Structure formats: C-alpha cells, structure tokens
Structure 1
Amino acid sequence: MIRVGVVGASGWADGSHLPALAALEAFEVTAVATTNQASADRAAAAHGVRHAFADAGELVAHPEVDLVVVSVKASGHAAVIKAALKAGKHVVSEWPLGVDADQASELAEAAATAGVVHAVVLQGHHSPSARFAADLLAAGRIGTLESVALVAEGAPWGGSQISPELVFGLDPSEGTNILTIMAGHFLATLERVAGPLAEVSARLPRTHDHVLVSGTERTVPNATSSHVLVHGLLAGGATASIAVHGGNGPIQDAFLLKLVGSDATLTATPARPGTYIHWGDWDIRIGDDVLALPGTYRTVPAGVRSGPPANIAALYQEVARAIAEDRQPHPSFETALRHHRLLAAIERSAAEGIASKIS
C-alpha cells in the first residue's frame, strides 16, 4: 500500500486527485494539507483521511506518508517539492512543474539526485482517446502524417473578464495562464498523439491590457497573453498549426484536431460538448468512418467518473507500477522539463519574431 499525502486538498485536488486515489487499491490517502487548519479538517473529514495539517512541511515529514501530491498554485510547487525530495518521498506534481523552464530544470535535477519516483500530471498522456489516436497513426491508418491542425478554446483565460480566484494568474511570474495551463495541456496531448514538436514560430497576442473581475466593477491589469498561435514542425517531418483562443467561457466547441495523412485524415472532436482535449473522450473519424474506442484503452476502475479523475487515476496506476518496478513513470519531471522548454521556445519565438528550436 502506497500512503499518500495531498498538499492543496481543498482546491483542484478535491474533485480530481482525491476521488482518483480513493478508487485505486494500491493507494491510501493518509494525510491532507491546506492553507489553514479548518479547511484541512474539512477536507480530511470529507474524504475519510486521518491526518490534517495547515503546514505542508508537517505533512511531508509525517512517517505515514510515502508519496506527496503537490496540488497548489504553480508558484508554490518548488517549495513543497524540494521539501518532499529532501525527506526522501516520492512526488506527484500538478502541471506546470514550476513557474518557468529554469525552475523546472532545478526541480528535475533535484528529483534525479533524490532517487525517488517523480511524476507530473499531464492528463493527455493517459487519455484513452489520445492513446487510441496515437496507435492508429502508428499502425498506418492514415498513411504518413503530413500535417496537424488544432483549434482549441482557452477560456477561462484570455478573455475580457476573469474570475476572482484566477486574478493571480494575470501576473506572468505566477506561471498560471493561457500559455502554461491551457496551451500547455493541449500541446502535451497533441504531442502524445503526433510526436514531439522540433521547431516553432509563435505569436502571443495580448488583446486586453486590463480585464474585469467577474461579479464586480473592478478592473485589474493583465500582463499575460490572450491567445496562443503556433506554427511548427514535428520531429517526424509533419507541419503543425495550433490556435488556442482565449475567452470568458463557457466552453462550447472546446477543440478540433485534424491529422492529415498521405492516405486519409483523422478528425477528433469532444464526445461531450465543452470538454477540453486532455479531459474527456473524443469522437474520432477517419474519413467518413466513426471509430469506437476499444474497451482495452480504459484501465481505471469503472467507478471513476470520466474527466480529470479518470486520466489522473491512470497516471497513479503508472506511478504504482513504477514504484514496484524501481523505475521512473511517464510523464516524469524530465518529461515536464522538456515541455517547459517547448513553452519557453514559444515565448522566445513570439518575443524575437523568429523560428525557435526546442532544446
């Protein structure tokens, strides 16, 4: 049994990590931590967890914690991850790993030195639909891949309004915005299907210098992009065109993915309206043929609801196997570092107006 402590249990983890872990026999959540004792106690009571802390350091040091889940704001990841690594604990971190590529590099190096299992939550890597689409390409169902096009909605980022709880992300130093969160997850999913990008040319327009805080009459300054526009080349030689457009929401079409091959075109859209590409199932077509997802691609218990908990549960299954086999899971901190370098290349291209290679 792998004993888990969840830092940030009252936020995103409440509806994703905690239900995913509860469904898996290999794990037991033994501790939770939030920013204050009252909310930690509530989270512990809601999920039947016996230890609750207002100090992440106490959770990390607890002898009944083998693996630390880091599900706080990106700007707070480094401190918790470093503490967990120093304590010799395995770590699962939410994406992004750090606020930028430099911090991600530091954390990846520290994790390698610590010799523990480390994973990052890029849900698209464990999406059954993304894995199925990748296998279809590998089997030659559309011939040689020639081009990839992705159009996706990036709301709630990039619009003329922002929810009060997301205002912090308008500061680029927080590492939480339409490029890092939305485009970050979307690009990771695209690469899971079509292979890695090798070179990018990008623009990061900022449509709104100030945005309205939803439900108020207050406006706040915005220093982050409203849209992410990328043209690129995949390592396999195909071209790629990605447009992530911001907005106020709610999400409507969510995404359209087209993979054009020498023999046929694969098209993917959300099976349920308003579902991000890395969250839910896809409707997949090759030409006019609708392809049903084989049941073998679903590995998590049937009781895990679709959406983020299902793909996160699949990641935890991979983590459990990695611990048992004394290896690193995928995606690991090294995977996250490479992905941070992709985003850095996009920022560099947009700033300099030239194509940028991914290092």
Structure 2
Amino acid sequence: MMKTGIIGLGFIGPAHMEALLRTGLSQIVAVADTNEQLARSCAAKFNVPEVYSDYRQLLQNPEINVVHICTPNYLHYEIAKAALEAGKHVVCEKPLAICSKQAEELMRLAEEKGLTGVTSFNLRYYPLVQQAREMVQTGKLGRLYAYHGSYLQDWLLYDTDYSWRLDSKVSGPSRAVADIGSHWFDMACFITGSRVTELCADLSTFLPVRKKSRTQCLTFQTPQSANDPMEYEEIAIDTEDFATILFRMENGIRGSLTISQVSAGRKNFLQFEADGAESALSWNSEQPNRLWIGHRDQCNEEMIKDPGLLQGQARKFASYPGGHAEGFPDTSKQLLEQVYSYLAEDGRRHGIKPQFPTFADGWQEARLCEAILESSQQRRWVQL
C-alpha cells in the first residue's frame, strides 16, 4: 500500500484526507502545517501517527511515496519542487504555480525524475460531467458550435469578507480566474477535447479596498454587521472580483465565460452549456445529479445520475445507484482513486498514459491565466 503525507491543513487538506481514506488505496502516515496545534488536531481526527510543523521534515520521511500539497498558492512551486527532488509523487492543488514558468519547470522535473505529478482539478469527476464528455466525444451533439457558462460565488460580496486569497503576494496575480476559473476551463477542455487558442478578457475589482479583521478570519463565514464591535484594517486589493472572457477553441468552437466571487446567492455555481449542430446539454454544480439535454424537434430531456444510464467510461465514476446523490466530496475520491490505482499499477513504467489531470494540465492553466491577465491589461485579443 502507498504511504502519503499531507502538507497544509486548512479547508482543502482535510478534504484530501477524507477522500483518500475512502479509496482505501493509501495510508496517511504524516501531516504538516505551520500551525502545529491545527496539525495535531487534524492528525488526531484522522488517526495519523506523524505530525510536523515544517514540510521539509515530512519530505525526509522515507516511508512516504506521495505528497499532497494543500497550502496557499505561493508555496506550491517551492514544496512541489522539493518533493520531486526527494523522490515523491506529488498531488498539488491548483494553481500548480503562480506563473507558467514555474509550472513548466515542475512539469519537466517530474518527467526527468520519472515521477507522477497531479494537478487537483477534481471537478471534472462529477459523474454527469464525465457523461457530458462521453456525449460530446461520441458525437451525440453533432459538430460542436459553442461552449459557454459561468462560475459564480458570493463569499466575497461584502467589503468585510477577507481571506489570504485576496493577498496577491500569497495567492498570485490572479484570484477569481486562477481560483475558480481554472476549474471551469479545465472542465471545458476535458469535455470538448479541445484547447483554448485565443481569448479576450475584461477583469474588474469592484471592492478595491477591503476591511480585514484584526482578530479573526471570516473566510466562508457571514461577517458581523457594521454595528458589532470589531477592529479592522483597510487593505488595498489588486486582484479581480469578476471577469468576462470571450474565447476560441480548436475545431472552431466559440465560447464565453463569466466568473464572479461577488454574486449574491450563488454559493458555488459552476455552469456550462455545450451547443452542437444536433442537440445541446447543460449542467451546474449546485444540481450535480441532473444533466439537461436540449433538442430542436422533440421534447427536451433531463438525465438523472444513474450508473445504469451513463455511457462508456462515465459509468465507473458513479459509485452509488440512481437516486443516491453524489457531490463535491465524491469528486476528490474519484480523482484520487484513479491516481492511486495508476501508481499501484506502476502505470508510468508500463507506458500507460494518465487519464487524470497532470502537471501538464496545470501548466496549460497557468498559461491561460497569464493570457487572461494580459488581455485585460492590454484590452486586446491574445493568442496562446
């Protein structure tokens, strides 16, 4: 059995741990976080024997085969490079790095070392997203004309909402696009089998100054009202709240995307529609077990997630019968099950091409984010 170490224990680290335990394919033997109290609490909850306050100590543990990086963005490159040099396979949260040069270096280093690098684009693992890919790839929609949609959230709607993701020194030069737009574009490329070739973007920061609590972090929480006693410091914001993007893909596909972290009532709304010459389909992450299928000359359809109805490879990504909902936590389980099965079978040595998102996908998304920033700043179309 593989042995795993988890670095970073905020929101997403424990999600990785829970998902990995559900696969039964690896034992988590160590965790690391600069907040030692948090690390010990998390280790106790998941029955993990080793706890470190410095990730370098974890990388020295000879038992560990795979390292998961769940830290703030600016640390991804540093830790991933050190992990690869220590001979560990790496599962890294997106973005892989805060610039494409770093992401490319990690991609090439993993190849040189003969190690597997995974970028955690887990949202492509919803069963009906897999079904959408099968339908597009097998021609059920006919020639694909357009792909469009949005990714909307409201957790940064108020000026008292604050998180490390708002600090560009920690999160990188892009926020909404790199954080949630990267998932949307990864899903678009996965479903269509095409890359973005050209784009035109408009980014906006509606709240150029935010109020950071001096006493607590309010990420994903409802802030106290202005009448409640709390001390704030004003912080200038230089990353985007909102983005609109026109893009062109291979095979002549046209597309558009709206990204927002200030859309009231939208908690985590990733939505797409694919329009083909014969039919269309649409899906959103807040109703992940329903896939809309549109027709011109007959009644529209709605497919409910049921492994008995799914096509081809999509069927294996539904773990429960029809009527038994599968959601966000299941996507990480499905991703890690695919990754760890590949590692257990020594897929790289046998020349098997990974079916999961690799460091190459992380590099492509880093290039895409840079092109979006360039387009918005220069107010022009940019080619990739």
> TM above 0.5, one fold?
yes
2:352 is aligned with 1:322 = no
Counterpart in the other structure of 1:236:
251
Matched, 1:79 2:78: yes
Aligned equivalents of 2:268, 2:250: Cα separation in 1: 29
In 1: Cα distance, 2:62 partner to 2:320 partner: 32
Among candidates 240, 243, 260, match of residue 275 of structure 2: 260
The code of the aligned residue for 2:261 comes to G
Q: Cα distance, 1:222 vs. partner?
A: 0.6
Instruction: Give the SS at the match of 2:261.
Output: strand
* 1:227 counterpart = 2:239: no
Q: Show the counterpart of 2:315.
A: 297
Counterparts in 2 of 1:292 and 1:230: CA distance versus 1, 3 Å: same
Q: State the Cα distance separating 1:173 from its structure 2 match.
A: 5.7
1:283 paired to 2:295 = no
Alignment of 1:140-219 (within 5 A): 140-157=139-156, 159-161=157-159, 163-164=161-162, 166-171=163-168, 174-175=171-172, 177-194=175-192, 195-213=194-212, 214-215=223-224, 216=230, 217-219=232-234
1:168/1:346 CA distance change after superposition, 3 Å: closer
Give me the whole-angstrom Cα distance separating, in 2, the residues matched to 1:69 and 1:305. 27
Give, as a single letter, the amino acid of the residue that structure 2 aligns with 1:191.
C
Cα distance, 1:305–1:146 mapped onto 2, change above 3 Å: closer
Structure 1 range deviating more: 245-254 or 110-119 = 245-254
Higher alpha-carbon deviation: 33-42 or 141-150: 33-42
Greater radius of gyration (CA): 2
Structure 2: which amino acid aligns with 1:284?
A: W
* 77-86 or 284-293, which deviates more: 284-293
Structure 2 unaligned spans of 5+: 213-222, 225-229, 308-313
Q: 1:302 to 1:227 in 2, by over 3 A?
A: same
Structure 1 position 309, deviation (Å): 2.5
Is the CA contact 1:93–1:120 (under 8 Å) kept in the aligned structure 2?
Answer: yes
AA aligned to 1:322 is Y
Give the CA RMSD over aligned residues.
2.4
8 Å CA contact 1:257, 1:269 repeated in 2: yes
Instruction: Read off the aligned partner of 1:143 and give its amino acid letter.
Output: G
TM-score, normalised to structure 2's length? 0.83
Is 1:335 the equivalent of 2:361? yes
Q: Normalized against structure 1, the TM-score is what? A: 0.89
Question: SS state of the match for residue 34, structure 2?
Answer: coil
Percent identity between the aligned chains? 20
Report Cα offsets for 1:133-152 as digits up to 9, x if no partner.
11111222222111122023
Paired position in structure 2 for 1:308: 328
**1:300 CA displacement:** 6.8
- Range 328-337 or range 226-235, more displaced: 328-337
Q: Is contact 1:345-1:356 (8 Å) kept?
A: yes
Residues 41-69 of structure 1: per-residue CA shift (max 9 Å, x gap): 21111001111111111111102211011
Q: Which amino acid aligns with 2:166?
A: G
1:275 is matched with which residue? none
Question: Structure 2 CA distance, aligned partners of 1:301 and 1:260?
Answer: 29
Hey, what's the Cα distance between the residues in 2 that align with 1:226 and 1:104?
A: 24
Q: Which residue type is aligned with residue 169 of structure 1?
A: L
Deviation readout 1:79-124 (Å, 9 max, x if unpaired): 2112211110111001111112122122222222222111010113
Distance 1:352 1:281 in 2: 40
Counterpart secondary structure, 1:85: helix
Deviation, 1:249, is 4.6
Residues of 2 paired with 1:48 and 1:223: CA distance?
Answer: 41
CA change 1:54–1:270 in 2 (3 A) is closer
Distance in 1 separating the partners of 2:346 and 2:285: 35
* Residues 52 and 58 in structure 2, CA contact (< 8 A), matched pair in contact too: yes
Count the aligned residue pairs.
Answer: 348
